[in-house]
Amino acid sequence: MIGKMLGNRYEILEKLGGGGMAIVYKGKDTYLNRLVTIKVLRPEFTSDEDFIRRFRREAQAVASLSHPNIVNIHDVGQEDGVHYLVMEYVPGDNLKVIIKKRGPLSPEEAVRFTVQVCEALEHAHQNNIVHRDVKPHNILVTEEGRAKLTDFGIALEATAATITRTDTIMGSVHYLSPEQVRGETATARSDIYAVGILLYEMLTGRHPYSGDTPIAVALKHVQETPRPVNEVNPEVPEELAAVVMRAIEKDPRHRYQSAGELARHLEMAFDDTSQATVVIPAGEIARRAAAARPETEEMKADAVSEAGAARSRRWVWVAVLVLLAGLLAGGVYGFYNYYLNVPEITVPDVIGKPVEQAKAELEALGLEVKTVERYSDEEPGIVIAQDYGPEKPKVKPPRVITLTVSKGVELRKVPDLYGLTVSDAEYKLRAAGLVPAQPAEDYHPEMEPGRVFKQSPAAGESVPKGSTVQFTISMGPEPKMQVVPDLTGKTLEEAREILKDLNLVLNEKDIKYSFNPNYFRNQIIGQIPDPNTEVEEGTAITVVLNSAPGPVERGAVVKIKDEIPNDGRAHLVEIVVNDLEGRSVQYSDSHTYGDKINQRITYTGHGVVQVFIDGKLIMEEELPQ
């Protein structure tokens, strides 16, 4: 599927994962030039009308929803038997991966993610959509820390007659509600149960129920009660643990009745666990007050004699009850005005502002502010994300808003690479959070070949994490150049000595042969590289030796007449032959004007004869071959 174009618009780039019903790919919308997530129904289900209906149901379910904590759907289509959904691309990990990497999350972070999931479910439930498969695998966490609910593949309208099939339990077994295990209709409170299991897992790093088989796990949802969260993880506040345990009550009637109610109790339990307000009904106060009066047999016996005292005591209790009722009324009134009769406000967008300014704006509205820091490209102290903003529903103060504040660019110190091999240099850079560039090569008079002798940025310099570091490895000392001599006519021994003087070498392993009758046997008649070519010192020169037996000796007659000067003196006459055997003086004698010389000479192969008078060349001719 990689590289395939769907709908003449969506290009599949890479596989992201898959579930039992579909395979998920990363893709590109070529019209809008943006990344998307493409969910493709598995080929084995394309002929199953039930799976196709469920696949289309997901598109219909998500299309009816619009919420910042729900992954949006962009398109749905079918092409050549391929059924696909195109959804918003969310970079980052799913919550399951985060839990596996980090173990138990902090109560603050777990509550923040859970509240966001509850807000997404509240929106879905208000639109009569029950998710039925809430689990950490289906919750994507953006790079800014926002949770987004996805995969409504088995969701169904809450008004449908039957949501759970009688022959198959839909949903992931670790997060199934007891009523789903029994095959009953799943409701919004079934999603709340799954959220409670999810929160339990985030706070403890493990499932509340485990077993050898899926059936064993499913039965535990019906039959067993898990250990309280704060026993598994003592860092979890008792009030927060109580909220978790109520969310996973076996009986749906005893759970929270809506996702919004669960979210509110989570915020109250976490925000101020030490100052929780307890409201006791007036009737309960009266019952406890009455129960506080001890009534023994001895008191009954003395009742008549102490009637006056009893009447006095009754008036005291009446006064106490009136006082308690007044206090209760004042407390209810105060609670109503402080917590309930508070106008809702829209949380302003403070991203991009200095953190002190952002805190001042939010606190001026009665909101509380918490901050976390993260490295980013923004300058330090600037707000780069907020967990609740103006695009969400209005809230009542004092709501806690978590701001993510930039720590600036994360800097890393460049390690010293001098003298390292390429593999060691690359390893050291990656370990420091830096990126090694393709190494360059250059000559160095001292550094061993293959080792680093130069880098940029310099060692010890601080640079942003992920920066590229350039480095250069040595090729050894820069070689000198020499001109290749002409070795034609030389023997191997002569060529070896000539090349040695020039810091060149004879290629002894690849001596070639050729036939040339004009040279002696084993004389050099060719070479590679050619004469007068410039090469590096140390270059090997390949030579071609003559395999022919060599030329025979020939003879010729040199005639000299009227070339001697007429000056009355004697002059030295020399006849010199240059042939394959070299230069030889074959005649030398004194003559005067008028002398005639007819001198026979011999030569081998190609030759040239020269005549000198008193050392001056007066004639030069090539000899016939």
Give 574 or 274, the one with higher predicted confidence. 574
The CB-side HSE value for 98 (13 A sphere, CA atoms) comes to 25
What is the structure's pLDDT at 447?
94
Question: CA nearest 247: which of 230, 275, 232, 266?
Answer: 266
pLDDT band at 314 (very low <50, low <70, confident <90, very high): low
The confidence score (pLDDT) of residue 396 equals 86
Percent of the chain with pLDDT over 70: 85
Among 418, 470, 467, 468, smallest CA distance to 439 is for: 470
19 and 55 in contact (C-beta within 8 Å)? no
The pLDDT, as a whole number, for residue 567 is 92
- CA 263, CA 236: separation in Å to the nearest integer? 17
Q: Within a 10 A sphere around the Cβ of 253, how many other Cβ atoms?
A: 7
Identify which has the larger pLDDT, 483 or 562: 483
pLDDT at 505 over 70: yes
User: Which residue has 């789903």 as its token pair?
Assistant: 180
Q: Which domains does the chain have, with CATH numbers?
A: 5-88 (3.30.200.20), 95-275 (1.10.510.10), 355-406 (3.30.10.20), 411-474 (3.30.10.20), 481-546 (3.30.10.20), 553-623 (2.60.40.2560)
**Mean pLDDT, residues 317-343 taken together:** 57
Cβ atoms of 363 and 394 closer than 8 Å: no
Q: What is the dihedral of CA 484, 487, 492, 498, to 10 degrees?
A: -50
What is the pLDDT, as a whole number, of residue 185?
83
- Among 29, 133, 191, 387, the active-site one is 133
Instruction: Report the pLDDT value the prediction gives residue 342, as an integer from 0 to 100.
Output: 60
Q: Residue 292 above 60 pLDDT?
A: no
Q: What is the pLDDT of residue 315?
A: 56
Give the range among 300-304, 359-363, 568-572 with minimum mean pLDDT. 300-304
10 Å CB burial of residue 206 (0-12, 13-18, 19+) is middle
Name the DSSP letter for residue 9: T
Residue 137 φ/ψ region, left for φ over 0, alpha for ψ in the -120 to 50 degree band, beta for the rest: alpha
- Nearest Cα residue to 208 out of 237, 171, 175: 175
Among the residue ranges 13-27, 193-207, 522-536, 590-604, the one predicted with the least confidence is: 13-27
Q: Give me the phi and psi of 439, to 5 degrees please.
A: -65, 140
Average pLDDT over residues 565-589: 93
pLDDT of residue 232: 93
- Report d(CA 507, CA 495) in Å as an integer: 11
Give the pLDDT score at 325. Answer: 63
Kindly state the average pLDDT of the residues 43-61.
74
Tell the residue number behind the tokens 């701001």, with chain if given.
403
Q: Are 176 and 170 in contact (CB under 8 A)?
A: no
Q: Which of 314, 324, 315 is nearest to 285 (CA)?
A: 324
Which pLDDT belongs to residue 490?
92
Among this protein's residues, is 486 annotated catalytic?
Answer: no
Contact 64, 78 (CB under 8 A): no
Confidence band, pLDDT 50/70/90 cuts, at residue 580 = confident
Range scoring the smallest mean pLDDT among 276-280, 475-479, 586-590: 276-280
What's the chain's length in residues?
Answer: 625
Q: Which of 168-172, 412-416, 604-608 has the lowest mean pLDDT?
A: 168-172
The mean pLDDT of 170-193, rounded to a whole number, is 87
Q: Give the pLDDT of residue 304.
A: 40
Q: Tell me, what's the pLDDT at 479?
A: 85
Strand partners, 369: 401
Query: What confidence score (pLDDT) does residue 326 get?
Result: 58
Structure tokens belonging to residue 451: 């080792």
- Range name among 127-131, 166-170, 432-436 with the lowest pLDDT average: 166-170
Going from the C-alpha of 58 to that of each of 65, 132, 354, the distances in angstroms are 11, 12, 42
Structure confidence by residue, pLDDT tens digits, 302-313 = 434 444 444 555
Q: Which residues pair with 485 in a beta bridge?
A: none
What CA–CA distance (Å, rounded) separates 591 from 597?
A: 9
pLDDT at 64 over 80: no
Structure tokens at 248: 């996973």
Amino acid at site 275: Q
Q: What is the pLDDT of residues 399-428, one digit of tens each?
A: 899 999 999 999 999 999 999 999 999 999
> Could you read off the pLDDT of 184-220 as tens digits, one per residue?
888 999 999 999 999 999 999 999 998 888 888 888 9
pLDDT of residue 97: 92
Q: What ranges in 541-601 are assigned the alpha helix state H?
A: none
Q: What letter would DSSP give residue 70?
A: B
**Confidence grade of residue 327 (pLDDT, cut at 50, 70, 90):** low
Average pLDDT, integer, range 531-547: 94
The string of DSSP letters for 290-352 reads: HHTS---HHHHHTTTTTHHHHHHHHHHHHHHHHHHHHHHHHHHHHHIIIIIS---BPPPP-TT
Span 574-601, average pLDDT: 93
Q: Is the pLDDT at 163 greater than 90, yes or no?
A: no
DSSP H or E stretch at residue 460: none
Report the chain's terminal Cα–Cα distance, integer Å: 78
What's the chain's average pLDDT? 84
